[in-house]
């Protein structure tokens, strides 16, 4: 509670004479403003120093960075004292690309680069035009060609050999690409005046949001084959993708509904007065405003969703987390799973942190 009670007392602070060394003054106001605060600072510094020194000793000073191929004896020697980063150069290709044929791994690598470039382009406001959507469609086609192959002299690679980072990116991106229009339809349905459509939308959103994603994925993996006519068998990855799209649709629908509620009534009435039809009214007047209102929460939903794709591990799909977990089953390297998890955590962190930074910058600029 001390933290709240020492909120800066503005008028008094302003009257205090600003003298002395600026560094000392900064230290005084930010770290040693009162005796309890000073004690807190010292305790925190001690804890921080201990943590940093411990990590530097384990992660840098005593760490093993490289070993001869498939030889973990150097790592075993420092076990408990230092990190074994040598496992990363040893396993990174499996972690990033799974069991994709070794010589063809430039194809998933190129797909990942393509995705990242498009994510970057999509984050630039100046580029939010129709051409961007076309670019996305082109890129998705190109990715499919790259991943599957079978044309232009690229050998065919079946879907069950895909793995790692491209699978994570494909699941997340297609989940959003298809979940977004679904979310818009459901959000509109939930605000519709027609009772049957409204109740169906409410039922859909509440059912999906009320249960864990794990159970939807189980449903996709064990029940989907029961639902389909016999002889009709679709791939496990595609089944998981469908579950993820349905899941994303329900969550995005709620965010978009919030945006729809924020559009002033006058806008709807003006569109009606112009004689626009229901769909034209929403497409031209309401939705652009509604979505602009909820861009920051939408980005936050994207982040949550990107992380949630890792749950496909539970039904045995080889996304980034699953390949990491599989990489450390190898008996020689079994004991160094912490290092692998840190490596994969860093990959996820880079993606999510970039998105959350972006969301924050949007919040700062769209406040006006």
Does residue number 3 form part of the binding site for another protein (CB under 8 A)?
yes
CA–CA distance, 230 with 237 (Å, rounded to integer): 19
Contact pattern from residue 12 through residue 51 relative to another protein, giving x for each residue in contact according to CB under 8 A and a dash for the rest: ------------------xx-x---x--xx--xx--x---
Contact pattern from residue 206 through residue 245 relative to another protein, giving x for each residue in contact according to CB under 8 A and a dash for the rest: -x-xxxxxxx--xx--xx-xxxxxx---------------
Query: Of 66, 284, 349, 361, which lies in the binding site for another protein, with binding defined by CB under 8 A?
Result: 349
- Calculate the alpha carbon distances from 146 to 35, 50, 113, 155, 298 in Å: 63, 48, 12, 10, 30
Does residue number 314 form part of the binding site for another protein (CB under 8 A)?
yes
Does residue number 133 form part of the binding site for another protein (CB under 8 A)?
no
Q: For 226-251, give the secondary structure using H, E and C.
A: HHCCCCCCCCHHHHHHHHHHHHHHHH
Query: Of 35, 69, 126, 196, which lies in the binding site for another protein, with binding defined by CB under 8 A?
Result: 196
Q: For 299-310, give the secondary structure using H, E and C.
A: HHHHHHHHHHHH
- The stretches of the chain forming alpha helices (DSSP H) are 2-5, 10-15, 22-30, 35-56, 73-77, 87-97, 106-123, 130-148, 165-190, 195-210, 213-218, 224-227, 236-262, 265-273, 278-280, 287-293, 295-308, 320-327, 337-365
CA–CA distance, 330 with 343 (Å, rounded to integer): 17
Closest CB to another protein among residues 229, 264:
229
Q: Around Cβ 126, how many Cβ atoms within 10 Å?
A: 5
Site for another protein in 319-338 (CB under 8 A): 321, 325, 335, 337-338
Residue with tokens 């670019």: 135
Segment interacting with another protein, rule: CB under 8 A, options 56-64, 103-111, 155-163, 187-195: 187-195
Segment interacting with another protein, rule: CB under 8 A, options 69-77, 125-133, 172-180, 308-316: 308-316
Does residue number 365 form part of the binding site for another protein (CB under 8 A)?
no
Which residues contribute to the site for another protein (CB under 8 A)?
1-8, 30-31, 33, 37, 40-41, 44-45, 48, 189, 193-197, 200, 207, 209-215, 218-219, 222-223, 225-230, 303, 307-308, 310-311, 313-314, 321, 325, 335, 337-338, 341, 344-345, 348-349, 352-353, 356
């Amino acid at each position: 509670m001390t933290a709240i009670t020492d909120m800066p007392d503005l008028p008094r602070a302003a009257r205090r004479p600003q003298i002395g060394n600026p560094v000392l003054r900064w230290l005084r106001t930010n770290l040693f403003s009162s005796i309890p605060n000073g004690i807190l600072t010292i305790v925190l510094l001690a804890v921080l120093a201990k943590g940093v020194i411990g990590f530097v000793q384990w992660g840098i000073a005593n760490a093993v960075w490289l070993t001869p191929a498939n030889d973990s004896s150097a790592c075993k020697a420092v076990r408990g004292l230092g990190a074994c980063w040598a496992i990363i150069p040893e396993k990174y290709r499996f972690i990033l690309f799974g069991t994709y044929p070794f010589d063809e791994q430039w194809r998933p690598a190129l797909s990942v680069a393509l995705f990242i470039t498009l994510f970057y382009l999509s984050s630039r406001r100046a580029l939010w035009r129709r051409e961007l959507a076309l670019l996305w469609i082109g890129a998705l086609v190109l990715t499919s060609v790259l991943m599957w192959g079978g044309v232009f002299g690229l050998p065919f690679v079946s879907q069950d050999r895909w793995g790692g980072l491209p699978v994570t990116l494909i699941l997340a991106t297609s989940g959003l690409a298809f979940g977004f229009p679904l979310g818009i339809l459901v959000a509109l349905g939930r605000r519709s005046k027609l009772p049957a459509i409204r109740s169906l939308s409410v039922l859909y959103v509440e059912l999906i949001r009320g249960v864990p994603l794990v159970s939807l994925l189980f449903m996709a993996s064990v029940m989907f084959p029961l639902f389909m006519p016999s002889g009709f068998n679709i791939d496990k990855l595609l089944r998981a993708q469908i579950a993820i799209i349905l899941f994303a649709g329900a969550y995005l629908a709620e965010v978009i509904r919030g945006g729809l509620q924020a559009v002033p009534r006058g806008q709807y009435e003006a569109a009606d007065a112009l004689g626009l039809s229901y769909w034209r009214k929403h497409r031209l007047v309401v939705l652009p405003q509604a979505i602009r209102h909820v861009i920051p929460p939408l980005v936050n939903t994207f982040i949550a969703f990107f992380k949630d794709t890792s749950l496909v591990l539970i039904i045995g799909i080889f996304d980034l987390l699953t390949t990491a977990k599989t990489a450390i089953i190898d008996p020689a390297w079994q004991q160094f799973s912490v290092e692998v998890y840190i490596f994969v955590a860093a990959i996820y962190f880079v993606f999510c942190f970039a998105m959350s930074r972006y969301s924050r910058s949007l919040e700062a600029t769209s406040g006006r």
